[in-house]
Amino acid sequence: MGGKEERVNLRVDAETKRLLENASEAAGDTVSSFVLGAATAAARELLADRTVFHLDEEQWQAFDAALSREPRDVPGLAELMRTSTVLDEGP
């Protein structure tokens, strides 16, 4: 990234401002840096599966070969996928 040439302005309510101030203080950071870091991480995570990636010829051949292989059974995988987790439980 280059120098800081752009500005983003946010309007928040008093409760949100206090929350951000408290969190940034706990992190030992400024509010601006804390908010920017959290927003940047969230943006990268959201866009991760939409990012273009480049492969050289050898990498492409390996990738294509992996995609072309016949599927195989992985011992225990089907059972694992059927097992409930905390994510399956309601609030």
The per-residue pLDDT string of the chain (91 residues; one tens digit each, 9 = 90 and over) reads: 567 889 999 999 999 999 999 999 999 999 999 999 999 999 998 998 887 888 999 999 999 999 999 999 999 999 999 999 888 877 6
pLDDT for residue 2: 64
Domain ranges of the chain: 1-70
pLDDT for residue 48: 86
pLDDT for residue 32: 95
In whole angstroms, what is the distance from residue 43 CA to residue 27 CA? 20
Q: Are the C-beta atoms of 15 and 40 separated by less than 8 Å? A: no
Helices (H), ranges, 27-87: 31-47, 57-68, 77-82
